[in-house]
Structure 1
Amino acid sequence: MDDGIIAGRLLVATPQLADPNFRRSVVLLVEHEEDGGTLGVVLNRPTEVPVDQILPPWSELVTGPSVVFQGGPVALDSALALAHVPGTDEPLGWRALGGSPAVARVGLVDLDAPPELLATELTKLRVFAGYAGWGIGQLRSEVDEGAWYVLPAEPGDAFMDDPERLWHDVLRRQGGDLAFVATFPEDPSLN
């Protein structure tokens, strides 16, 4: 069954999702296995921690803001990175997300690889502490309950200069009812 949940798609939190880890979040799915789990990174949660404090060798390659992003509530002591690679080659130390063709040139970076190996290959890089994860069937259940919209990604979503606007901007570009959802107040009780 094609439910749209594939690597390279976005999970956009609906206004009903109250979990503080995911409130108004935009998650890029980086892995999805029907008989396994799903892994993603929250794209719009920059921290105040500069990348050079955590991964100094990679700090020169990071696309602004050059801070670590909180990728999700799981394994906050580990890091992963997303990078955009132009062209058609698959450089050593980089793996395409697969799934959605819209983000075919966005992939995961092996942070154990020497940065100089990829320095000339990458046009954009972002580092995340932690990730979001779902067990078998868990994400499908959350989507069915109305917690998430599953939407197409654009290559620039993972590297937006103003990540706090991403939730609004992704919903706006959908048009129709979802564009209207983008105007949903942060606190409806103040309306």
Structure 2
Amino acid sequence: MNLTQRYKSPTCLSGSILLSHPTLLDPNFFKSILFISAHSEEQGSLGVILNRPLEQTLGELDSSFQNKCFSEVPVFEGGPVEKDKLIVAAWEWLESPSSFKLYFGIDLEKAEALRVENKSIEIACFVGHSGWSPGQLEDELDEDAWLVSSLDHELFSKMKQKKKIWKKTVGSINDELRVMVDCPEDPAKN
């Protein structure tokens, strides 16, 4: 995983991975790995949490999808914003390392057409999303609430591992973070 030393403004974060810093205790993002799908100084940022599977498929979440081609698509908690909305994402990994073609916020008909066209397309659904107003994410990055990383195929393939993948990924960055990720969530239990 290729981590930046420190976020430097102005940088377009679209397509980046954000890892919550071990000191970020906000329950919305505690031990989270996010994919930033859109980022601009004028519009703000939009992304989804990758390591919060709901342990349900689309067919289990909504009975109208049972016995359909999407019944087994995994569903994740995408974030604290618009939790009543479902975001469909489809992607295909390309031959060059850490690059992929993303279809984000598409409808299920488009996802079905993509899968018919290309069996290697992966699909996931997200309930809600994560959003930041213009400048908000940059402020959080300046406060070191997030670690910025580039896209990583291995990380995407382990999305269902919840906090375990966060701990492994953040802990592999350096010795200081390795110690921090091993600390108990409640310091009184140290």
TM-score of the aligned structures, taking structure 2 as reference length: 0.77
Partners of 2:18 and 2:149 within 8 A in 1 = yes
Write out aligned runs for 1:29-178 (5 A). Answer: 29-52=36-59, 53-54=61-62, 56=65, 57=68, 59-60=70-71, 62=73, 66=74, 68-87=75-94, 102-108=98-104, 110-120=106-116, 121=118, 122-160=120-158, 161-178=160-177
Identical aligned residues as a percent: 30
Describe the superposition over 1:81-104 as per-residue Cα deviations: whole angstroms up to 9, x where unpaired: 23231458xxxxxxxxxxxx7243
Secondary structure, in 3 states, of the residue corresponding to 2:70?
A: helix
Q: Distance in 1 between matches of 2:173 and 2:103?
A: 24
Cα–Cα, structure 1 residues 144 and 179, in superposed 2: closer, same or farther, change >3 Å? same
Residue type of the alignment partner of 1:145: E
- In structure 2, the partner of 1:96 is none
Question: 1:182 corresponds to which residue?
Answer: 181
Query: Which moved further from structure 2: 163-172 or 126-135?
Result: 163-172
Shift of 1:152: 2.1
Where do 5+ consecutive residues of structure 1 fail to align? 89-100
The alpha-carbon deviation at position 112 of structure 1 amounts to 4.2
Take 1:12 and 1:167, find their aligned partners in 2: how far apart are those partners?
7
SS in 2 for 1:47: strand
Q: What's the offset of the Cα at 1:149?
A: 1.3
Does the C-alpha gap of structure 1 residues 105 and 182 become closer, same or farther in structure 2, counting only changes over 3 Å? farther
Aligned residues: 175
CA RMSD of aligned residues (A): 2.6
C-alpha contact 1:42 1:132 (8 A) present in aligned 2: yes
Distance, in Å, in 2 between the alignment partners of 1:162 and 1:11 is: 16
